[in-house]
Amino acid sequence: MASTDELIGKLTSGLTPVTRLARPGVRALGPIALASALIALLVLLRGFRADLDLRLAEPSYLLQLSGAWLTGAAATLAAFETSLADRSRAWLLLPLPPLVLWLSGFGWTCLVHWIEIPSGAPIASDSLRCLETILLASIPLAFVLWRMLARSRPLAPAPVAWAGALAVAAFADSAHLLIHVVQASALVLVINLIPAAVIIALGGLFGRRGLAPAAA
């Protein structure tokens, strides 16, 4: 009969050493820095919106812009924290305060200063450029974020995926807010809310499958 040492040696032979993951807060810095770099690169390539100096004087725009970026950062941290089994689900509440700022910023503008869609406005071409910016900001970040979160093999992948999707949507809208001028209030609601909702929905529904632990 094999001794205890021999049995342990057989069970552990050929195993690949496991690299300990860094703390969630440290790991979250990578995607946050990547998102900020993507936003800066898109602004460099496409330029700031023409009315940026005027918009920066508007509290509603500052609330929306700062709220979007802070929502992305907070949701990223929440995703990494909740990807570990020993962390509290209360981390999922972290993005809620900046999320309120993000939504209330353009909501206040649309409700108080409603602007009709001008007749003959190039809605299709402008909307397409907005969509391009959102995709260029969201796709690389979503890929990197998914790969990093997958390393944690979260036991409850759904909340992690939803938090990650919220982060991607918020960072993408940050880029959109700095680059594109959308005067009509109806378009503000459509171009901001619909892409964000689609990113969150797709990320939450499909991301949790990719983050689920592999079956034994």
First CA to last CA distance, the chain: 29
C-alpha separations of 174 from 41, 102, 158, 164, 201 in Å: 13, 10, 25, 16, 19
What's the rounded Cα separation, in Å, for the pair 202 and 210?
12
Tell me if the pTM is above 0.85: no
**Is residue 50 classed as helix, strand or coil in its secondary structure?**
coil
What is the pLDDT tens value at each position of the chain, 216 positions in all?
A: 556 666 666 655 665 666 677 898 999 999 999 999 999 999 999 999 888 898 888 888 888 899 999 999 999 999 999 998 888 999 999 999 999 988 886 555 544 444 444 444 444 455 677 778 888 888 898 888 888 888 888 878 888 888 888 898 889 889 888 987 765 444 444 555 555 566 666 666 665 565 655 544
